Structure 1
Amino acid sequence: MRSAPTILHLDMDAFYASAEQAAKPSLRGKPVVVGGLGPRGVVATASYEARRFGVHSAMPTAQARRLAPNAAYLVPRFTLYRTVSDQVMGLLGQLSPLVEPLSLDEAFVDLEAGGTADDTASARAIGEQLRDAIRAVTGLTGSVGLAGSKMLAKIASEEAKPNGLLVIEPGTERDLLAPMSVRILPGVGPATGDHLRRAGMTTVDDLATAGEAELVRLLGKAHGVALHRMALGYDDRPVVAERDAKSVSVEDTFDMDLHDRVRVRTEVERLADRCVQRLRAAERSGRTVVLKVRRYDFSTLTRSETLRGPTDDPTVVREAAARLLEAVDTTGGVRLLGVGVTGLADYTQEDLFAQAAGERAAPEVPAQEEQDAGGHGDEPADGAQEQETAEQLAARRWPAGHDVCHDTYGHGWVQGSGVGRVTVRFEEPESPPGRVRTFRVDDPELQPADPLPLVRDPVDYSSWPARLPKSRSGPGSSGGESRP
């Protein structure tokens, strides 16, 4: 445990939804829900305006629509989110060599290792400057927590939301944690929380008072000891710069169960190709191919095959996944399919059988990640495409919220599609709210487009933090606070 709050935790505020609001002037200040829009879609992120209606992440989109029927429902744009995340992580990397990303919108930073802070005053100054820098470079806001440990820094950033900064002074940890719910501690999910509640423990102070022996009796030695230490405010986990991925995988949940065995195999092969795209993007190869099948009754089967050596050959992965599928009974229907690769390595040992087969080259498909939030998949192969309605095909080509460009009207985004039409609002991140126009789904003047930068001329922070301007007043720079 440190004597100064030099571990920083950054959590971007409602990241996906905030990025969409920044990109779309007409949605600012309005409820926005990002996620899968199909019957089985799930909310990835909800704006704070939508949260007032009770919408939250991991909620079925159908339930969210009942709670907030007038919200804007958008399919995720991971290309935009990754671009913004790279900008934010770049700023963090200039603070310290020890940056531990947890996701696209969340990371720990060891300020002491970077020599940028060694006491409360300097840590607070860096936290405020970081929030200013993020706003200037991306147009978005983030909440910052500062403490002497990772656990408390994360708790601080959560307490600071939205768009705030909170410093937890070392030595005050136990008093701060005591009245909080046990669910605030890492490793306490719904099941563990319910188990503790039945034992009469609902607050962190209850855990600390119960003692280590009682928690070990209830939860087992490893979990019980760790939870008691955290209840007392102890957490000596270091910030780890390299979080090496153990696997790469993709999966799709389908709006309607798949019954046609040929269609199921087509989807597995398509997922294998997408998985290899991610594998190659990470400059990795893998040795074990994993197939995941969730059937109509929600039962989930997992099958794996270990190859003779690591590979990133799409043909090898595709054929291995197809072999695994042969051993799975899909009678009754399939609602979810997934393909993954584990046993990752930094090199590739090509499969000799694939080479002997004539080095068949599989066409590479663009990596689309809307399915991670429960959305539709990519366009299927020709044989499967005939089974889809024109409405489904239109939804695939014109996902709600995605960028388009019209030869006459310029850049815009899809508000929705149906009955052979697509409705587009023409506006850009730094323009006033734009006009809405409707076109045929096959209008030759309308094409999909790449996202525009959220900030056209971002401030140059290449010298950050040495010459970073002092924290200024205005949006995105509200003062921080300290606890106790």
Structure 2
Amino acid sequence: MDAFYASVELLRYPELRGKSVVIGGGRQAVPETLPDGSRRFARLRHYAGRGVVTTSTYEARALGVHSAMGMMKAAQLAPDAYLLPTDFDSYRHYSRLFKAAVRTFTDQIEDRSIDEIYIDLTGVAGDTRDVAAAIKVAVHEATGLTCSICIAPNKLLAKIGSELDKPDGLTILGHADIERRIWPLPARKVNGIGPRANERLAAIGITTVGDLARADIGMLQERFGGNYTDWLARVARGVDDRPIVISSEPRSMSRETTFERDLHVRQDRPALSAHFTALCKRVSEDLARKGYVGRTVGIKLRFADFKTVTRDVTLAEATAGAIAIRRAATECLRRVVLDRRLRLLGVRVSTLEKTGNVVAGKLQHSLPLEDETWTPAAVSVSGSSAD
């Protein structure tokens, strides 16, 4: 899907089409409806906090704003960009719509994420380009949104090719096209070459996929080892034997939040407890919606100094209930020395089991936010470093 979250937002706010828009502003970015019915939108220049960009329109990307970039940095690049909050319920709704449209053509689908799928068209009758064009029409009719499709002999080339002609692209990519269309691309465009590997490759003069294809194997083996070098040599030539995986089971489900400011264990106890409760409830809802229960509950804490700590506990019985998840997560929390301000908090449930009739336990509205979870009696807090 093309700039998926941003495109969904533009359905709601069509007056922002063609403008630089950044998604991820939180509550402070909710548009204000004026007496005359028009809307006033927040601008990125007024943002204050430590959030990150969820996504942006192509106009904002042209200014250098990209997903996972810090919002403050984005504000320096595009101060006049409009800022909108995320609405994941809406994104999930449109995700279901676009995937249902594709399933009218084939059920041979690998679900990769909320906005991306692989499709095996081997058994679908008709000219492949015509089928792809029909899929694009069906997705647009179902959602009002555009998507980009690449038809290729394997998943590696399909993934790379789907980015070549965005937005609203339809790309046919074969092995004969690799040298012309793939080799000039930066090596980091290959899914699996991360930032560190890209830096190490650049240090030895390899910056493009073509450089990688022409590189001396012995030199690569000295720096990256045999297995990774073999993989690099294969992907540089467009070789990928991975099948389309029609069904896969998730290993875990988690939710986390990065605070707008570092929170103090005692002074910000109500806020911490509210965030903690909300995360447990959201994980519970995710499990129930997808039909899973989990046996292992864990937490993730990131402190102001960026040190990250995780703890987990295994339950006697698997659960999807919010109350059970919160109790287990609290047990994990008691095993952490909270001697610094907190930057991030996360809750995870793993060791999942499929079940067809899960009902998520609801947190009672009477559950106090200032409960014992974050009190000094429940955690070990050292002196001045907590300030």
Q: Which structure 2 residues correspond to residues 83-122 of structure 1 after superposition, within 5 A?
A: 83-113=93-123, 115-117=124-126, 122=127
Describe the shift of the 1:265–1:152 C-alpha distance in structure 2 as closer, same or farther (beyond 3 A).
Answer: same
Q: 1:151 to 1:45 in 2, by over 3 A?
A: same
Q: Would the alpha carbon gap of residues 333 and 218 (structure 1) be closer, same or farther in structure 2, given more than 3 Å must change?
A: same
3-state DSSP class of the match of 1:309?
strand
Helix, strand or coil for the counterpart of 2:156?
helix
**Residue pair 2:97, 2:142 contacting (<8 A) in 1 also:** yes
36-45 or 159-168, larger mean C-alpha shift: 36-45
Q: What does residue 21 of structure 1 align with?
A: 10
What is residue 292 of structure 1 aligned with on the other side? 300
Shift of 1:174: 4.2
Alpha-carbon distance, 1:152 to partner: 0.7
User: Given the alignment of the two structures, is residue 344 of structure 1 paired with residue 347 of structure 2, yes or no?
Assistant: no
Give the C-alpha shift of residue 330 in structure 1.
1.8
Relative to the length of structure 1, the TM-score reads 0.67
Give the partner amino acid of 1:134.
Answer: V
CA distance in 2, matches of 1:178, 1:260: 52
- In structure 2, the residue matched to 1:200 is 205
Preserved contact between residue 269 and residue 322 of structure 1 (Cα < 8 Å): no
- Describe the shift of the 1:68–1:251 C-alpha distance in structure 2 as closer, same or farther (beyond 3 A): same
C-alpha contact (below 8 Å) 1:215/1:228 kept by paired residues: no
Alpha-carbon separation, structure 2, partners of 1:87 and 1:273: 25
Query: Structure 2 vs 1, CA of residues 67 and 91 (structure 1 numbering), >3 Å: closer, same or farther?
Result: same
Corresponding position: 1:166 with 2:175: no
In 2: Cα distance, 1:132 partner to 1:314 partner? 41
Q: For 1:98 and 1:381, how far apart are their aligned partners in 2?
A: 48
Distance 1:36 1:27 in 2: 16
> Identity rate of aligned residues, in percent?
38
Structure 1 287/222 Cα, relative in aligned 2: closer, same or farther at 3 Å? farther
Amino acid at match of 1:32: V
Pair 1:135 & 2:130 matched: no
Correspondence for 1:388: none
Query: Which residue number corresponds to residue 374 of structure 2?
Result: none
Shift of 1:242: 1.2
Q: Is the 8 A contact 2:279 2:346 kept in 1?
A: yes
Deviation of 1:210 (Å)? 2.4
RMSD of the TM alignment (CA)?
A: 2.3
Query: 2-side partners of 1:85 and 1:153: how far apart?
Result: 20
- The AA in structure 2 aligned to 1:46 is S
Aligned CA distance change for structure 1 residues 52 and 209 (closer, same or farther; 3 Å): closer
The CA distance in 1 between the partners of 2:53 and 2:364, in whole Å, is: 29
Secondary structure at 1:230 match in 2: helix
> Cα gap change, 1:141/1:266 in structure 2, threshold over 3 Å: closer, same or farther?
closer
Tell me, in whole angstroms, the C-alpha distance in 1 between the residues paired with 2:11 and 2:355.
40
| Residues 109-153 of structure 1: CA deviation (Å, up to 9, x unaligned) | 00114x235xxxx11111111222222221111111111111111
SS at match of 1:237: coil
Q: Write the letter of the residue equivalent to 1:219.
A: F
User: What is the one-letter code of the residue matched to 1:108?
Assistant: Y
Whose helix proportion is higher, 1 or 2?
2
Amino acid at match of 1:116: A
Q: For each residue in 1:234-284, what CA deviation from the matched residue of structure 2 results, as whole angstroms up to 9, or x when unmatched?
A: 111111111321100011111122213444345333322221111111110
8 Å CA contact retained: 1:98, 1:241: yes
After TM superposition, give the deviation of residue 207 of structure 1 in Å. Answer: 1.9
Contact 1:215 1:225 (8 Å CA) reproduced = no
- Amino acid of the structure 1 residue aligned with 2:21: V
- Structure 1 residue 295, shift from structure 2 partner: 0.6
- In structure 1, how many angstroms separate the alpha carbons of the residues matched to 2:25 and 2:337? 27
Matched residue of 1:153: which SS? Answer: helix
Amino acid at match of 1:25: P
Partner Cα separation in structure 2 for residue 175 and residue 68 of structure 1: 34
Q: Tell me which residue corresponds to 1:363.
A: 363
**3-state SS of paired residue (2:8):** helix
The answer to whether the 8 Å contact 1:259/1:331 transfers is: no
Distance 1:308 1:215, change over 3 A: farther
The 8 Å contact of residues 175 and 238 in structure 2, kept in 1 or not, is answered as: no
- CA apart distance, 1:175: 4.5
Aligned to 1:69: 79
Task: Quote the offset at 1:332 in angstroms.
Answer: 2.3
TM-score (norm 2): 0.83
Q: Which residue of 2 is the match for residue 56 of structure 1?
A: 66
| Cα pair distance change 1:25/1:179, threshold 3 Å | closer
Partner of residue 302 from structure 1, selected from 298, 310, 322: 310
* Partner Cα separation in structure 2 for residue 208 and residue 69 of structure 1: 41
Indicate conservation of the 8 Å contact 2:265/2:338, yes or no: no
> Which residue type is aligned with residue 131 of structure 1?
K
Which structure has more RCO (C-alpha within 8 Å, separation ≥ 6)?
1
| SS of residue paired to 1:343 | strand
1:215 maps to 2:224: no
User: Match of 1:172, SS?
Assistant: helix
Residue in 2 aligned with 1:31?
20
User: Which of residues 271, 284, 287 in structure 2 aligns to 1:276?
Assistant: 284
Checking the alignment, whether the CA contact within 8 Å between 1:271 and 1:339 is kept in structure 2 is yes
Q: What SS does structure 2 have at the residue aligned with 1:307?
A: strand
Compared with structure 1, are the counterparts of its residues 364 and 43 closer, same or farther at alpha carbon in structure 2 (3 Å cutoff)? farther
